[in-house]
């Protein structure tokens, strides 16, 4: 991604309008799914870690996609996984929150979870390790700063400290595009925003819908820039379990066709 390609949104109105867009709609996704549905586990030709259950690994710190409400997982992706599991005749079961940069390796090595669902952007590096389902959401990156910082543009962050979650596309984007910056990786997204508030870092690079969500709580912070990285989220599945990927794609198509996908978009993302 070339920083020069980043579109500067000059007018505050244009910025506000564009920040409201999330790019999740039932129109997206590809349709090469199979026709069968309703079977589960061995009957359907795929393996499951626990019989009758779809076991999900997620980093539950990424609202509005996956987050913890007390000890209960909630968010757009949590609702989506429950819908997909229901379509497949399975029960959806979330593991305790898992550090983001361990999820793809965990799915690759197998045995603990069937799927990794953590707003994982599909990219070449990850595609070498795992398979992904069809896309379930489109997002861009963003930069957030403290309102009092006077920073209004990415160029002003050159030579400064940027925080991001370790192993994320936000971390990579900042490291590659903000000149002379020091990018600091954190395990948890919440820790990144706390570091911004305490002045430990000068900016945060994270998926735009998540930045928009955090600044509702961290009201002294503001999103100053949308970075059009054009990222697409997919569900990570082991390369040894291609029938599970197919079954998930069939279920994803079904929930897009029957309107339930649009309902959860309206609930979480608009």
List interacting residues with ligand ARG (CB under 6 A). 59, 61-62, 66, 100, 118-121, 165, 168-169, 189, 207, 231
Residue 159 exposure: Cα atoms within 13 Å on the Cβ side: 1
Q: Closest distance between ligand ARG and the C-beta of residue 58, in Å? A: 6
Q: Closest distance between ligand ARG and the C-beta of residue 260, in Å? A: 22
Contact 11, 251 (CB under 8 A): no
Q: Closest distance between ligand ARG and the C-beta of residue 253, in Å? A: 23
In sign, the C-alpha dihedral spanning 235, 134, 84, 37 is: negative
Contact 141, 169 (CB under 8 A): yes
Beta bridge partners of 158: none
User: Rounded CA gap, 105 and 94, in Å?
Assistant: 17
Q: Closest distance between ligand ARG and the C-beta of residue 99, in Å? A: 9
With respect to ligand ARG, which residue has the nearer C-beta, 121 or 133? 121
With respect to ligand ARG, which residue has the nearer C-beta, 169 or 177? 169
Contact 46, 131 (CB under 8 A): no
Q: Closest distance between ligand ARG and the C-beta of residue 258, in Å? A: 26
With respect to ligand ARG, which residue has the nearer C-beta, 82 or 149? 82
**Residue 179: exposure state from Cβ atoms within 10 A (0-12, 13-18, ≥19):** exposed
With respect to ligand ARG, which residue has the nearer C-beta, 58 or 265? 58
Q: Closest distance between ligand ARG and the C-beta of residue 172, in Å? A: 8
Residue 122, token pair as written in the block: 């599909």
User: Rounded CA gap, 172 and 124, in Å?
Assistant: 13
Peptide bond preceding 64: is omega within 30 degrees of 0, i.e. cis? yes
With respect to ligand ARG, which residue has the nearer C-beta, 46 or 171? 171
User: What is the three-class DSSP state of 229?
Assistant: strand
Q: Closest distance between ligand ARG and the C-beta of residue 9, in Å? A: 21
Cβ neighbors of 246 (< 8 A, separation 6 or more) are 33, 34, 46
With respect to ligand ARG, which residue has the nearer C-beta, 40 or 118? 118
With respect to ligand ARG, which residue has the nearer C-beta, 154 or 192? 192
């Amino acid at each position: 991604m070339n920083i020069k390609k980043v579109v500067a949104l000059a007018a505050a109105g244009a910025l506000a309008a564009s920040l409201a867009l999330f790019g999740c709609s039932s129109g997206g996704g590809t349709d090469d799914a199979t026709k069968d549905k309703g079977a589960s586990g061995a009957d359907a030709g795929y393996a499951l870690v626990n019989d009758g259950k779809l076991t999900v690994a997620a980093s539950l710190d990424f609202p509005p996609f996956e987050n913890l409400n007390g000890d209960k997982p909630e968010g757009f992706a949590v609702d989506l996984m429950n819908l997909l599991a229901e379509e497949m005749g399975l029960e959806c079961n979330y593991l305790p929150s898992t550090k983001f940069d361990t999820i793809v390796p965990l799915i690759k090595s197998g045995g603990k979870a069937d799927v990794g669902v953590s707003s994982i952007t599909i990219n070449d590096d990850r595609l070498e390790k795992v398979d992904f389902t069809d896309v379930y959401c489109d997002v861009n990156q963003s930069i957030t700063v403290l309102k009092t910082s006077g920073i209004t543009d990415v160029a002003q962050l050159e030579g400064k400290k940027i925080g991001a979650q370790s192993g994320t596309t936000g971390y990579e984007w900042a490291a590659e595009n903000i000149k002379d910056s020091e990018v600091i990786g954190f395990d948890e997204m919440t820790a990144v925003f706390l570091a911004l508030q305490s002045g430990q870092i000068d900016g945060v690079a994270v998926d735009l819908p998540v930045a928009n969500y955090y600044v509702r709580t961290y009201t002294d912070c503001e999103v100053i820039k949308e970075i059009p990285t054009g990222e697409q989220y997919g569900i990570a599945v082991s390369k040894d379990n291609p029938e599970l990927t197919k079954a998930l794609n069939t279920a994803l198509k079904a929930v897009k066709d029957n309107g339930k996908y649009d309902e959860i978009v309206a609930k979480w993302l608009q």
